[in-house]
Chains A and B, each alone.
Chain A
């Protein structure tokens, strides 16, 4: 089942920890710190999710959109690519790539609705369409992304743990608040999420994990990363986000 992943561009493009989360020179000049970058990414991942709920697209589209978003910023600076436009455009592009197109008009309607209070960046349809093209180039036209959801189901069935699926599913959703999707094969992320859920729900799964013969060290690293999100970034005070966003170039 995972055979297609191993042969995919997604697999070939997996990055090391030092290739994600860094601050590009243009952003450094504006005073953005690694922490700011992290906050902005979380904030806009949430924005993508909110837009998706309003425009009623599938979870898979949200996941792909966030993966595009995070991938773009491993190479492009926030200064050059305004994340407030890139985020919705990622959703737009992902909706096409995942075969459930959202109309640009509808998207822009909700963009304005959700962010009506935040002035300074009202984007129009033409901005989204223009950014779509730049985004495609920034992604080097690689659009196929694999997600942990499918392996998750199979793994849980195999482990006889389908009763905790809701918990694991939600942890997987939250894993997109991190850069994990750019760094690890989706089934490993699924395992990391299962691992956390098992600890929370007090499930004894040591034997099952051992039989899988996966690198438990990696699985636990993934789990730690997600846990770090729960501990430190689950409820980010608005001032912190505003302070980080204020360092971005303001649109005239």
Chain B
């Protein structure tokens, strides 16, 4: 029996909040009794149909199924609006990090990192880059499982010669190759962001809080030293490469005094400058950090902040009382700066579509070799199509027929 879908299947509850491209409601799935979160996608102004960000999220989540990736339960249109039904998530990692009442033990941190990396490894196995890893996109379910969410900036990688935009990720989580303008990056960008989250779990504040792209790199180099050419040979060839004044690396231990050796070893491998040297999400999961003492805390034993307040947060609630402010850095606005050097503040409108790469749309985007060597497509009307005269045809047919026969016995 086909499962039902659509408006009638859900009993709509209170509003949970509002994102860049839609309102999220709590709801109950009549069919399963499950609590869900329904995201109603706002229609674009410009008569451009289904929102591209929503479409990207749907497209990729339909391909991903993993305990550490948010489940897209259903999608349906209602009154011309698209509705995305997700499993309901009680909290997110940002709220955990920010909650001063929660003590994060070494085992808790290990557990959160393990779940993060598991979700990430699943994405990477399926050639999906998340590209927006940050604590508030790591949601936490009622059973304590952490799940990657917000795939609106994600995309499939692995196509040779595909150029991506480097304007992805909230700045504080951006890998150095992105900050230097690389357009052919890979899964390493997600690993770097995961490393930033790792550090944030230990420090209870964002680790590298740059105030501009230049400053972000400055913060990175202050923490790990300015990379030498031998450490990262491709660096100087990157589009926006600029030379930074040399600065030696302080011992990593001095930044994370409580961390174990295993922990620092994994952290430093995730923070490797050269993306080709950086540990992969799968290798990170196999690192001895995860098998050494203390064991990762069982997810259901992890302490969680009180459930989200119902209803959209009031502006005053957006700033945490006491404790450091751990809001995402201009996360939405950052996506605006698709233009090189574009100042975030000069754009009034928040536009998720800025995450789209401008370079891929050319007609040569498909051709895997240099554009001059292979035509984008060989058009029916433009030569090169194999012209088969009838003699050729019967020859070919006969050959195929014969081969087929000889193959059968």
Which of chain B's residues have a CB closer than 8 A to the CB of A53? 379
Q: Tell me the residues in window 152-198 of chain B with beta carbons closer than 8 Å to chain A beta carbons.
A: 155-156, 158-160
Chain A 88-126, CB within 8 Å of chain B: the 1/0 string? Answer: 000011001101110111000000000000000000011
Which of chain B's residues have a CB closer than 8 A to the CB of A132? 49-50
Q: A3's closest neighbor in chain B, by CB?
A: B125
**Which of A24-32, A181-189, A215-223 faces chain B?**
A215-223
Report if A200-B160 is in contact (Cβ < 8 Å); known contacts: A169-B377, A217-B407: no
B366 at interface by CB-CB < 8 Å: yes
Which of chain A's residues have a CB closer than 8 A to the CB of B386? 167, 170-171, 196-197, 200, 230
B59 touches A136 (CB 8 A): no
A143 at interface by CB-CB < 8 Å: yes
Q: A149's closest neighbor in chain B, by CB?
A: B366
Question: When the two chains form the complex, which single residue of A59, A93, A103, A230 contacts B377, counting CB atoms closer than 8 Å?
Answer: A59
Report if A99-B360 is in contact (Cβ < 8 Å); known contacts: A200-B388, A223-B400: yes
Interface size on B (CB < 8 Å)?
Answer: 57
CB distance from A33 to the nearest CB of B (A): 25
B375 touches A150 (CB 8 A): no
A167 touches B62 (CB 8 A): no
Question: When the two chains form the complex, which single residue of A58, A144, A166 contacts B384, counting CB atoms closer than 8 Å?
Answer: A166
**Which of A4-12, A14-22, A78-86, A244-252 faces chain B?**
A4-12
Which of chain B's residues have a CB closer than 8 A to the CB of A165? 374
Question: When the two chains form the complex, which single residue of A93, A150, A220 contacts B400, counting CB atoms closer than 8 Å?
Answer: A220
Alpha-carbon distance A143/B388, docked complex (angstroms): 35
B58 touches A169 (CB 8 A): no
Alpha-carbon distance A62/B388, docked complex (angstroms): 25
A100 touches B407 (CB 8 A): no
A133 touches B50 (CB 8 A): yes
Chain A 185-202, CB within 8 Å of chain B: the 1/0 string? Answer: 000000000001101100
A137 touches B378 (CB 8 A): no
A227 touches B385 (CB 8 A): no
Report if A199-B127 is in contact (Cβ < 8 Å); known contacts: A56-B363, A100-B361: no
Chain B 221-258, CB within 8 Å of chain A: the 1/0 string? Answer: 00000000000000000000000000000000000000
Which of chain B's residues have a CB closer than 8 A to the CB of A59? 363, 366, 376-377
B374 touches A166 (CB 8 A): yes
B404 at interface by CB-CB < 8 Å: yes
Alpha-carbon distance A137/B374, docked complex (angstroms): 36
**Which of B31-39, B129-137, B323-331, B391-399 faces chain A?**
B391-399
Question: When the two chains form the complex, which single residue of B48, B392, B403 contacts A200, counting CB atoms closer than 8 Å?
Answer: B392
Which of chain B's residues have a CB closer than 8 A to the CB of A239? none
Which of chain B's residues have a CB closer than 8 A to the CB of A36? none
A143 touches B62 (CB 8 A): yes
Which of chain A's residues have a CB closer than 8 A to the CB of B364? 58
A144 touches B63 (CB 8 A): yes
Report if A224-B59 is in contact (Cβ < 8 Å); known contacts: A167-B386, A170-B378: no
CB distance from B326 to the nearest CB of A (A): 32
B148 at interface by CB-CB < 8 Å: no
**Which of B75-83, B110-118, B261-269 faces chain A?**
B75-83
Report if A227-B397 is in contact (Cβ < 8 Å); known contacts: A58-B361, A125-B47, A170-B386: yes
B49 touches A128 (CB 8 A): yes
Alpha-carbon distance A53/B382, docked complex (angstroms): 13
CB distance from B392 to the nearest CB of A (A): 7
Q: Tell me the residues in window 138-192 of chain A with beta carbons closer than 8 Å to chain B beta carbons.
A: 141-144, 149-150, 153, 165-167, 169-171, 173-174
Alpha-carbon distance A4/B362, docked complex (angstroms): 25
A9 touches B377 (CB 8 A): no
Question: When the two chains form the complex, which single residue of B63, B368, B404 contacts A149, counting CB atoms closer than 8 Å?
Answer: B368
B396 touches A200 (CB 8 A): yes
Q: A102's closest neighbor in chain B, by CB?
A: B361
A238 at interface by CB-CB < 8 Å: no
B55 at interface by CB-CB < 8 Å: yes
Report if A142-B62 is in contact (Cβ < 8 Å); known contacts: A96-B55, A217-B404, A231-B393: yes
Q: B390's closest neighbor in chain A, by CB?
A: A231
Q: A46's closest neighbor in chain B, by CB?
A: B380
A153 touches B368 (CB 8 A): yes
A129 at interface by CB-CB < 8 Å: yes
A60 at interface by CB-CB < 8 Å: yes
Closest 6 CB pairs of A and B: A170-B378, A59-B377, A100-B361, A143-B59, A129-B49, A4-B127
Give the A-binding residues of B (Cβ under 8 A). Answer: 47-50, 52, 55-56, 58-60, 62-63, 75-77, 80, 82, 125-127, 155-156, 158-160, 356-357, 360-366, 368-369, 374-380, 384-386, 388, 392-393, 396-397, 399-400, 403-404, 407-408
25 A–B pairs (Cβ distance < 8 Å), ordered by A: A3-B125, A4-B126, A7-B125, A9-B62, A57-B363, A58-B362, A58-B365, A62-B377, A96-B49, A97-B59, A99-B56, A100-B360, A100-B365, A104-B47, A128-B49, A129-B47, A143-B58, A169-B378, A170-B384, A170-B386, A171-B386, A200-B386, A216-B403, A217-B408, A227-B397
A-B contacts besides A99-B360, A136-B77, A141-B75, 13 pairs, CB < 8 Å: A93-B50, A99-B56, A137-B77, A143-B62, A150-B159, A166-B378, A167-B384, A169-B377, A200-B388, A220-B404, A224-B404, A230-B388, A230-B393
